[in-house]
């Protein structure tokens, strides 16, 4: 007789959420005073996105948000993480807010609260106002100060109703994919600029945290969401261990060093000395960056496997971050990125829940006492409706079961994880991949924009309602 399966049960207060970002879902890019962001410009530049696709309409959440919130409530979600479009609120990145832009987010938050869903607001998910990029973008120090002013505006408008605040989403992508490899907006390919951008994103986070403290009630929580990499060496040789340390500095230490510990790794400075002298790190910057946080968001999809590169020829770069002749890893030309073994998603990313467990337990050690949230985790699959219009996605259910089980194991081992946000609520504009990669738990017919919950959405909703993971076969 088979052994009974012990149910995977979560704490009663655990938040079951889904996540989106403004440019990927809102559309309405020219309505109510909104002006272009760097992603509007990038996606309308020939050759930058798959099929020349863009977010002009996206999935039209700007006009359909009430239906989308009702759908979340029907699924049983208890939290929703969304981002604010900076250029919808403050079109030039400077000056007073456009109240009609803020009103959209006021209505969205009120709708969420009315059905018992906790809003989690991300201030920046990669959509810098184009006018600020024209003035130099994130490599310019002034952008950090403009961001703090924007944070103050949004905090004053919504701080009475939103308890969970996130300053930046995945600043690594903003800095190194946007200014290093150029596969993300604004599409620049300058290694020195990418490191300057990283520092000024850190500064923006610190300044915005301070601005929010003055604008929102003390009961509210301020966090940042990092896509920290789980970097694994191909072997335990000294050369491979050194390669892993270098990439860990560039993926993780460059952000969590200043934010959590008030310093950059010296080894990061040593590795990038030929690219920059870091003279833009001014006196008192690290104090400004190192602000107390109330929580930390962790985004995870797949681990990173590296080894020391051969001395001749270009190093392999199967890092999962898109194709470019330019590397997003400044100073790391001597490191080879290898494809990790195992089953993969449509993004080509290996499915490995142990990486999420390792990430959570690492940050339990890095930041003892700081509550953690998994602010993004999910998978893209080639989902299609069946003849009856149903969308069955057993691969995603298995993915979610494995990764949520890893979260629960980390909690059992002492990690203070308080919530999980599935990426994503619904299919949407997947950046440079256009609309060809479907991450959603809800299927979107891009011709009609009709929403259809996939079987994974129902499975996840059952977990949210009961606090217990259904078996993958219970979809």
Q: Could you tell me which residues are beta bridge partners of residue 308?
A: 335
**Which tokens is 288 given?**
């400004």
3-state secondary structure of 422: strand
**Which tokens is 458 given?**
């129902």
User: Alpha helices, DSSP H only, in 120-190?
Assistant: 130-134, 142-158, 171-172
d(CA 59, CA 63): 9
Q: Which of 12, 26, 24 is nearest to 107 (CA)?
A: 26
Q: At a CB cut-off of 8 Å and minimum separation 6, what does 216 contact?
A: 155, 159, 160, 162, 165, 222
Q: Which of 26, 376, 395, 430 is catalytic?
A: 376
Q: At a CB cut-off of 8 Å and minimum separation 6, what does 263 contact?
A: 257, 286
Residue 146 burial (C-beta neighbours within 10 Å; 0-12, 13-18, 19+): buried
d(CA 58, CA 429): 6
Q: At a CB cut-off of 8 Å and minimum separation 6, what does 313 contact?
A: none
Beta strands in 430-472 (DSSP E): 442-444, 451-453
User: Alpha helices, DSSP H only, in 80-123?
Assistant: 86-89, 99-114
d(CA 475, CA 469): 11
3-state secondary structure of 365: helix
CB 354 within 8 A of CB 406: yes
Q: Is 156 a catalytic residue?
A: no
Distances (CA, A) of 408 to 241, 246, 417, 471: 30, 30, 9, 14
Q: Which of 393, 400, 402, 389 is nearest to 454 (CA)?
A: 393
Q: Is 163 a catalytic residue?
A: no
Q: Which of 99, 30, 27 is nearest to 68 (CA)?
A: 27
**Which tokens is 149 given?**
């002013």
d(CA 382, CA 392): 11
Q: Which of 170, 307, 395, 430 is catalytic?
A: 170
Residues with a known catalytic role: 170, 376
């Amino acid at each position: 007789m088979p052994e009974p399966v012990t149910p995977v049960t979560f704490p009663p207060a655990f938040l079951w959420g889904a996540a989106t970002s403004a440019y990927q879902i809102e559309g309405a890019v020219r309505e109510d005073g909104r002006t272009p962001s760097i992603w509007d410009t990038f996606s309308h530049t020939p050759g930058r996105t798959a099929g020349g696709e863009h977010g002009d309409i996206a999935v039209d959440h700007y006009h359909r948000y009430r239906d989308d919130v009702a759908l979340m409530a029907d699924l049983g979600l208890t939290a929703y993480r969304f981002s604010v479009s900076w250029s919808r609120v403050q079109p030039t990145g400077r000056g007073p807010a456009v109240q009609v832009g803020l009103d959209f987010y006021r209505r969205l938050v009120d709708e969420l609260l009315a059905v018992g869903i906790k809003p989690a607001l991300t201030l920046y998910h990669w959509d810098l106002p184009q006018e600020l990029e024209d003035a130099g973008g994130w490599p310019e120090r002034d952008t950090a100060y403009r961001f703090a002013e924007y944070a103050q505006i949004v905090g004053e408008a919504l701080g009475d109703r939103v308890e969970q605040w996130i300053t930046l989403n995945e600043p690594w992508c903003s800095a190194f994919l946007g200014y290093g490899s150029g596969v993300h907006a604004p599409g620049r390919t300058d290694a020195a600029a990418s490191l300057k951008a990283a520092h000024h994103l850190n500064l923006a986070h610190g300044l915005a945290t301070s601005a929010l403290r003055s604008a929102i009630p003390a009961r509210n929580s301020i966090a940042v969401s990092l896509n920290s990499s789980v970097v694994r060496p191909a072997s335990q040789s000294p050369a491979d261990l050194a390669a892993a340390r270098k990439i860990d500095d560039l993926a993780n230490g460059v952000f969590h060093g200043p934010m959590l510990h008030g310093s950059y790794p010296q080894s990061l400075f040593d590795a990038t000395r030929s690219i920059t002298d870091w003279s833009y790190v001014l006196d008192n910057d690290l104090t400004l960056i190192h602000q107390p946080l109330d929580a930390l968001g962790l985004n995870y999809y797949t681990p990173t496997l590296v080894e020391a590169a051969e001395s001749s020829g270009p190093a392999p770069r199967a890092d999962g971050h898109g194709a470019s002749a330019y590397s997003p890893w400044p100073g790391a030309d001597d490191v080879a990125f290898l494809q990790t073994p195992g089953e993969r998603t449509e993004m080509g990313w290996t499915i490995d829940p142990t990486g999420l467990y390792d990430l959570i337990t690492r940050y339990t050690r890095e930041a003892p006492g700081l509550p953690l949230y998994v602010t993004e985790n999910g998978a893209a699959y080639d989902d299609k409706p069946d003849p009856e219009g149903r969308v069955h996605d057993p691969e995603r259910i298995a993915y979610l079961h494995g990764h949520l089980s890893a979260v629960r194991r980390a909690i059992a081992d002492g990690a203070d994880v308080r919530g999980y946000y599935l990426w994503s609520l619904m299919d949407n504009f997947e950046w440079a991949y256009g609309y060809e990669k479907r991450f959603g738990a809800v299927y979107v017919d891009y011709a009609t924009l009709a929403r259809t919950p996939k079987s994974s959405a129902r499975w996840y909703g059952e977990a949210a309602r009961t606090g217990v993971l259904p078996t993958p076969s219970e979809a």
